[in-house]
């Protein structure tokens, strides 16, 4: 598994926050190299926001950071510390109605006309499902032809993707993302492909007529405002976001563990 190049600042929390559902995300995910901004809110932990930890240390310090205390919760592995937790999901056009606006691609060609409320949701979450069956995901920002996203103040263009290949959208590596498996992170802290165990989420949503999480996740996405010790968990459904917020509220902080034997099956994901 790749090792981080930068400090984890163990047991600290990033103070850069993301607004959204019950303190969750407000951002656009970023396929390939594009990065989209998340809305900033006050720190959930109180007090003045703290700057992200220094990110200019060498390999020896990074190795020391990955050699944290052993996780005794049942997952094994090494504890990196407490990270801020938020959630994001996958809007469906069929759940929205109202006046229509054009949804544009990167060439300023109309993909479809969609309800304004759907555009307002998908321009924040980054990916969504069209009523006709396709998946759309963020292509680029600052598109002169696109509608203004009211929460990010960006003009977002999208790619239309094959729903069979990308049923839940596309992450920053250009690969499909999966509910209760994919997370967005600061990839200078948790490199793309890092496998994580989060004990607080092991068994979460079991009482919500839904498959329970096993607590194992893979870093497959990122966001410009996901900085430092912060994990943004992809839930897929807004209802699952609500269930997770009831069990493990956004911003309360979760334990992040690497090299957990429990999650070894994801190492080749």
At 222-235, the pLDDT tens digits run 876 789 999 999 99
d(Cα 35, Cα 30) in Å, to the nearest integer? 5
CATH placement of domain 21-27+40-90+172-266: 2.40.40
At 61-119, the pLDDT tens digits run 333 444 455 555 555 689 999 999 999 999 999 999 999 999 999 999 999 999 999 99
Mean predicted confidence (pLDDT) in 121-128: 91
Instruction: Please report the pLDDT score of residue 127 as a whole number.
Output: 93
Phi, psi of 94 (to 5 degrees): -65, -20
Report the residue count for the chain.
269
Selected residue with higher pLDDT from 207 and 60: 207
SS3 254: strand
Give the domain ranges of the chain: 21-27+40-90+172-266, 93-161
Mean predicted confidence (pLDDT) in 178-192: 95
Selected residue with higher pLDDT from 12 and 57: 12
Residue 82, classified by CB atoms within 10 Å of its CB into exposed (0-12), middle (13-18) or buried (19+), is middle
d(Cα 151, Cα 153) in Å, to the nearest integer? 6
Is pTM beyond 0.85? Reply is no
What is the CB neighbour count within 10 angstroms for residue 151? 18
pLDDT at 4 over 70: no
């Amino acid at each position: 598994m790749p090792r981080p190049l930068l400090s984890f600042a163990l047991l600290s929390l990033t103070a850069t926050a993301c607004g959204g559902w019950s303190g969750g995300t407000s951002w656009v995910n970023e396929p390939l190299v594009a990065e989209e901004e998340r809305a900033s809110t006050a720190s959930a932990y109180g007090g003045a926001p703290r700057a992200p930890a220094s990110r200019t240390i060498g390999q020896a310090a990074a190795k020391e950071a990955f050699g944290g205390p052993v996780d005794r919760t049942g997952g094994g592995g090494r504890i990196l510390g407490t990270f801020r937790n938020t959630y994001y999901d996958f809007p469906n056009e069929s759940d929205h109605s109202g006046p229509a606006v054009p949804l544009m691609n990167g060439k300023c060609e109309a993909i479809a006309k969609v309800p304004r409320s759907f555009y307002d949701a998908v321009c924040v979450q980054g990916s969504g499902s069209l009523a006709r069956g396709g998946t759309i995901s963020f292509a680029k920002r600052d598109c002169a032809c696109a509608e203004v996203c009211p929460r990010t103040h960006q003009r977002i263009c999208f790619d239309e993707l094959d729903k069979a290949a990308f049923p839940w959208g596309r992450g920053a590596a250009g690969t499909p993302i999966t509910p209760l498996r994919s997370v967005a992170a600061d990839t200078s802290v948790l490199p793309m492909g890092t496998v994580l165990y989060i004990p607080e989420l092991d068994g979460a949503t079991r009482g919500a007529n839904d498959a329970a999480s096993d607590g194992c996740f893979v870093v497959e996405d990122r966001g410009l405002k996901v900085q430092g010790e912060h994990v943004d968990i992809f839930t897929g459904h807004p209802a699952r976001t609500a269930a997770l917020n009831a069990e493990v509220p956004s911003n309360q902080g979760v334990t992040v563990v690497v090299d957990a034997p429990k999650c070894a099956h994801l190492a080749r994901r």
